[in-house]
Amino acid sequence: MKKLIALSIALAATVLSLSTLLAQASHESDGRLTIGISKLMAHPALDSIEQGIKDHLADCGIEAVFETQNANGEISTASSIAQLFRTEGKDIVVGIATPTAQALANTFSDRPVVFATVTDPEAAGLSGFENVCGTSDMVPVEEHLRLIEEVTGAERIGMVYTSAEANGITLMEAMKAACEERGIELIAASVSNSSEVRMAAQSIIDRVDAVYVSTDNTVISAISALSDVAKEAGVPLFSADTTSSFGTDVLLAGGFDYYQSGRLTGEVIERLLKGESAKDIGTLYLESLEIYINLDVAKELGITIPEDLILSAAFVIEDGKER
C-alpha cells in the first residue's frame, strides 16, 4: 500500500513538474522556448515535417529556439541525440520518425516528448506515457493494394522493408495480410540500412509484377535506387509517399502531405503550451490521402491509367512536368 501511495505521489509530481515547465517555458521574458528536433535522416518527407512544425509555431506567434540533429539512419546516434538534448535541458523534444521518437521517450520523463508521423505509436511503445503524444501517418494499405490491382492486375507484389524499424515491419505485415486476403503473393526483402535497398530490390525484381514501397524511412531515403531497378526491369513502382516521388520513376503514389503533417505536429506543441496534457492529446491521425500519377512512366510501361483516377489526383506528371 505504501508503495502504491508513493507511486501515486511520484506520478502526480511528474505531471505537476511537466505543467510547471510548460508554463515557465511559455512565459519567459523573451517569450521563447527551446525545442530539440531529432530527425532520423534527411529526405523530402521528413524535411517537410520539420518545416511544417516551425511554420505552424511561427504563425501562432510562438517564438522558439530550434536545434535539429540528424541521426543519419543510425539508431545508436538517435540515442546519443536524446542524451545531448537532456544535457542541454531542452524544454520540448520532437522525434521525427519512430526510432528517434523511441529514443526520446526512453530518455525523458520530466518534459514533453512529441513524436512526428510515427506509423504505429502503440506497436512502437510510444503509448501510455504521461508526457508523450504526437501524430501518426498510418497509411491505408488495403486502399493502396486496390489501386495496384486496378492499374496493373498484379498477382505478385514485391516490397523492400527495414527489419530494424517498427513502422517498416508493421506496414510489411499489413501488406502481407491484405495480399493474402485478396489471393496475391507478396515477395518481401528486408534491409538494415539504405545502402542495401538497391541489392534487395534486384533480388526480387524478376519475380514480381509490381513493387510497393511503404512509408519506411530507410527505404524511402533510397527511393531513387529502387526506382532505377524498377525502371530497368520494366516493373511499375507504387509508393505510399507522394513527397519523395517527384523526380523518380514512381508510377503511382498515394500518401499524405508531410508539410501538413508537420503543421499538425506543431499544433500538438501549441496545445501542450496552452495547458493540455500529453495524455489527453494522445495521437492525432492524418486523414486526407493525395494521389500522384506519372503519365510519362505509364506510357513507357504501356499502362493505361483510368480517367477517373487521373481526375482525382492531386499531382499529375506529363511531358516531364506537373499539369
Query: Using one digit for the tens of pLDDT, what is the confidence trace for 263-287?
Result: 999 999 999 999 999 999 999 998 7
Cβ(160)–Cβ(227) below 8 Å: no
Question: Which distant-in-sequence residues (6+ apart) come within 8 Å of 177 by Cβ?
Answer: none
CA pair distance 241, 166, nearest whole angstrom: 17
Helix boundaries (H) for the chain: 2-26, 44-59, 75-88, 98-107, 141-152, 166-181, 197-204, 217-220, 223-233, 258-273, 278-281, 295-301, 307-312
Return the pLDDT at 141.
Answer: 93
Instruction: Please say if the pLDDT value at position 21 is more than 70.
Output: no
Spatial contact of 93 and 111, defined as CB atoms under 8 Å apart: yes
| Contact (CB, 8 A) for 91 and 246 | no
Q: What is the pLDDT of residues 246-267, one digit of tens each?
A: 999 999 999 999 999 999 999 9
All domains in the chain, ordered by first residue: 2-137+258-285 (3.40.50.2300), 141-255+289-322 (3.40.50.2300)
User: Poorest-confidence range of 7-16, 148-157, 222-231, 278-287?
Assistant: 7-16
Q: Residue for cell digits 489526383? A: 313
What's the confidence (pLDDT) of residue 43? 87
pLDDT value of position 60: 95
pLDDT digits (tens, 9 = 90+) for 135-147: 998 888 999 999 9
What mean pLDDT comes out for the span 292-316? 97
Spatial neighbors of 142 by CB under 8 A, at least 6 apart, are 178
Give the pLDDT of residue 30.
Answer: 55
Task: Please tell me the pTM assigned to this model.
Answer: 0.77
Position 167 scores a pLDDT of: 82
Q: How far apart are CA 27 and CA 25, in angstroms?
A: 6
Which of the pair, 26 or 139, is modelled with greater confidence?
139
pLDDT at 6 over 90: no
What backbone torsions phi and psi does residue 207 show, to the nearest 5 degrees?
Answer: -115, 10
